[in-house]
Structure 1
């Protein structure tokens, strides 16, 4: 339907964090966040057909993250969420000769100005990958990545080389080529060759036997190491959980911080998305767009542990939030904005660090344990379905923290709630 007479609001983490606002048939700039002023253009060509688009100019790394597009007419409202990924292609690779190493020439390929971390690859003249030493990648003062890749070239190896730096998100790459002449390679004297040959003849008798013994010993050690590693991970996670249980706290939900489209149980232990087709909330500005709710408890010291039942939910956020009277300050779920959380979104588990960290779990968690050690600066998550460790944030927390819960962004009658569970005391 036509959106010409509707309110169309693009915003970030909170409803009041306005990126661009169209209302009463024209753009409204007074409510726009200062960082987007002069950088947005609302495209109105498709308004009559219900299509809207927002162009953001002079894009920055800080613009990455979740955005929401909100429509509101006199009779109804609706919104959608999307994630913006910011990506930058960097400079053309610079290849240099750094010296001699392991009987060959050490080649270094450098490039800068990339985001996110690029892929670095050496290739021969036919485009086949060449084995190289582990590369280095670090961020500069602008938050962009600088990369270094090292290749050892010998006289008998391919001397026509290319270094490729690739941005997989943009599907773009920068390539530089070099040819190494024979005169650059160190020469070996005939005396050295004769001595080396004699040594190899002597060692040739013992090497096969030594290799056999070492391989047998290595296989036995690898098998034992794998068993020990599995046992240690399982034992240590279980030990930490039993220790954490001694610091269990009775967490309850703070109804006053709940998003209008959330339903909170009377005992303040469960929360779920309400049916979004119901009555329109009176005040959409009280909390952010993640449909979240905070715990009533506040932590600024000590150790604290609580557990949350997930059942078969397909979307959720769990963690802690920094307390502030000005929630406008928190624009996205990330440590620099006062959130330390993990999530399940579109079937993928992630720690909402900067940058995001993908988490691999062997068993789908139906119940998660959360352990906060404030003085140590650690917030840990555990999968109680198999007593395994999920992820740990390490951070110098800036003040008072509160438990943070979000059951998702879609509400339905069949949607399962997030439920704070009683903790078993293993002491």
Structure 2
């Protein structure tokens, strides 16, 4: 009996020790998982640098934690376009782009607190654009975007007196070596702007701008003049001043008028030839100006499109990290809709009917809700459209008060877009017409509950369709919202919820 009691005591002690070790291990594991979540914070304003100078791209972790054992990467555009890479406690140069070789320096003085910076020397015009600061630990990764603007201040303006024109003196202000395109302005003695001819700007072979501004000065106008050329990015300007004395405005006597008349009579024979020559020169000049203007507008359009596409791709790539498996709730489906057994597709299966007059009423076009309810966090799903010509997609508030013929709009708890009569629209208040270059094969829906945003993306090209901002969710649960539309046939093309795997 004593042996049994002694054995029982050891067993109890062992069980208590094992329980204690388990609790300690679980607390350490939870602490490690909690410490693994972080965000990356970069500058909230664009950085500005001049050509030939240097710039520091700084970013940090929030909450503060050590990044000594993390991978820190700066890249542009694609993840593989490496500007600088820090991994395994040292700089890695194998993947670095050739144009940044010998120009970058990783500053890790405060890396124990999660703060790092990248110094880029010998700044070039091609360095302008978006940069991504990327951190990766063993269990998580995040990144932040920052914009670098590159500018150059040009030469001091040079004012020249070129000719008499329109009863006054023609002054030309020239300056070169600016980036981006500068602003030219003539000012009077009190600093007031003076009316002048439109300034001309032309880019040279080094992509720097040469500017030329013309002012016609009469004897009765302000003769104390200032020409200023300004770089709005660097907030710098070059200034030159000139004073025109009365000697520049000679008085015309009767003898001068007679001589001028005789000269005009002598030259009357050559005037038609001169007019033709000037007309031809003017026509050629206008053609050249038109070509230059068209080229510059096309370049600006291409840059804006490229930037827009890059930002949309970045947002989509970030959204797809929060992919969820969405299924349909057959109990919410309209009686004329058929939900597949796997609850991943829906189509119209009722009797053939004409389209409703108002496409934005809840029961006019038949709908079904997703089975999932979201009251926090970020969630992303995609819907295959195939060759459908009518559909509605989005999210709606989870409520039992789903009235018939309620208008689809944010005020009634709906955030959705639609395709109807070959026209895409966001069902905002008022409605917003959407123009898409390519008809989407799939539509991605991204819900950011705390960010109060619902965004839509066109796939496979990854372009941005529309975003509802500052949504008033009112702490209500939200559910995916689908309507396959009616084509007037018994067998309609289904909407299919696309499952993203291996992302």
Instruction: Call closer, same or farther: CA 1:185–1:389 in 2, change over 3 Å.
Output: farther
Assess if the C-alpha contact under 8 Å between 2:378 and 2:448 holds in 1. no
Query: Tell me, which stretches of 5 or more residues in structure 1 are unaligned?
Result: 194-256, 269-274, 279-290, 298-304, 313-364, 370-380, 394-399
Pair 1:263 & 2:301 matched:
no
CA–CA separation in structure 1 for the residues paired with 2:87 and 2:153: 37
Pair 1:113 & 2:177 matched:
yes
Assess if the C-alpha contact under 8 Å between 1:123 and 1:129 holds in 2. yes
Pick one of 103, 115, 123 that aligns with 2:167: 103
Cα drift, residue 32 of structure 1: 0.7
Pick one of 93, 96, 99 that aligns with 1:32: 96
CA–CA separation in structure 1 for the residues paired with 2:226 and 2:182: 16
- Matched residue, 1:418: 456
Instruction: Call closer, same or farther: CA 1:68–1:153 in 2, change over 3 Å.
Output: same
Pick one of 111, 121, 132 that aligns with 1:57: 121
Pick one of 187, 194, 219 that aligns with 1:155: 219
Alignment of 1:131-150 (within 5 A): 131-150=195-214
CA–CA separation in structure 2 for the residues paired with 1:164 and 1:17: 40
Assess if the C-alpha contact under 8 Å between 2:444 and 2:457 holds in 1. no
Cα drift, residue 388 of structure 1: 8.6
- Matched residue, 2:151: 87
Pick one of 161, 164, 177 that aligns with 2:228: 164
Instruction: Call closer, same or farther: CA 1:190–1:405 in 2, change over 3 Å.
Output: farther
Cα drift, residue 190 of structure 1: 6.0
Instruction: Call closer, same or farther: CA 1:296–1:117 in 2, change over 3 Å.
Output: farther
Matched position secondary structure for 1:134: coil
Cα drift, residue 81 of structure 1: 1.0
- Matched residue, 1:41: 105
Assess if the C-alpha contact under 8 Å between 1:308 and 1:418 holds in 2. no
1:173-220 deviations in Å (ceiling 9; x for gaps):
111122222222243336999xxxxxxxxxxxxxxxxxxxxxxxxxxx
CA–CA separation in structure 1 for the residues paired with 2:117 and 2:159: 43
Assess if the C-alpha contact under 8 Å between 1:40 and 1:54 holds in 2. yes
- Matched residue, 1:14: 78
Cα drift, residue 45 of structure 1: 1.9
Instruction: Call closer, same or farther: CA 1:77–1:106 in 2, change over 3 Å.
Output: same
Instruction: Call closer, same or farther: CA 1:80–1:35 in 2, change over 3 Å.
Output: same
Cα drift, residue 258 of structure 1: 9.3
Q: Which moved more, 1:69-78 or 1:112-121?
A: 69-78
Cα drift, residue 49 of structure 1: 2.2
Matched position secondary structure for 1:32: coil
Query: Tell me, which stretches of 5 or more residues in structure 2 are unaligned?
Result: 1-64, 258-316, 327-343, 346-375, 397-414, 459-482, 488-503
CA–CA separation in structure 2 for the residues paired with 1:153 and 1:131: 10
Q: Which moved more, 1:124-133 or 1:162-171?
A: 124-133
Instruction: Call closer, same or farther: CA 1:419–1:130 in 2, change over 3 Å.
Output: closer
Instruction: Call closer, same or farther: CA 1:44–1:383 in 2, change over 3 Å.
Output: same
- Matched residue, 2:466: none
Cα drift, residue 44 of structure 1: 1.8
Matched position secondary structure for 1:132: coil
Assess if the C-alpha contact under 8 Å between 1:104 and 1:186 holds in 2. no
CA–CA separation in structure 2 for the residues paired with 1:177 and 1:189: 32
| Structure holding more helix per residue | 2
Matched position secondary structure for 2:199: strand
CA–CA separation in structure 1 for the residues paired with 2:390 and 2:69: 47
CA–CA separation in structure 2 for the residues paired with 1:276 and 1:48: 30
Cα drift, residue 402 of structure 1: 9.2
Cα drift, residue 277 of structure 1: 9.0
Instruction: Call closer, same or farther: CA 1:67–1:403 in 2, change over 3 Å.
Output: farther
CA–CA separation in structure 1 for the residues paired with 2:126 and 2:171: 35
- Matched residue, 2:67: 3
Cα drift, residue 383 of structure 1: 8.5
Assess if the C-alpha contact under 8 Å between 2:178 and 2:210 holds in 1. yes
- Matched residue, 1:221: none
Q: Which has the larger radius of gyration?
A: 2
Cα drift, residue 144 of structure 1: 1.9
Instruction: Call closer, same or farther: CA 1:172–1:260 in 2, change over 3 Å.
Output: same
Cα drift, residue 384 of structure 1: 9.0
Instruction: Call closer, same or farther: CA 1:124–1:417 in 2, change over 3 Å.
Output: closer
CA–CA separation in structure 1 for the residues paired with 2:395 and 2:166: 57
Instruction: Call closer, same or farther: CA 1:423–1:29 in 2, change over 3 Å.
Output: farther
Alignment of 1:377-392 (within 5 A): none
Pair 1:178 & 2:242 matched:
yes
Superposed CA RMSD: 5.0
- Matched residue, 2:140: 76
Matched position secondary structure for 1:35: helix
Assess if the C-alpha contact under 8 Å between 1:261 and 1:276 holds in 2. no
Cα drift, residue 368 of structure 1: 9.6
Cα drift, residue 41 of structure 1: 1.1
Assess if the C-alpha contact under 8 Å between 2:392 and 2:485 holds in 1. no
Assess if the C-alpha contact under 8 Å between 2:394 and 2:445 holds in 1. no
Cα drift, residue 21 of structure 1: 0.7
- Matched residue, 2:333: none
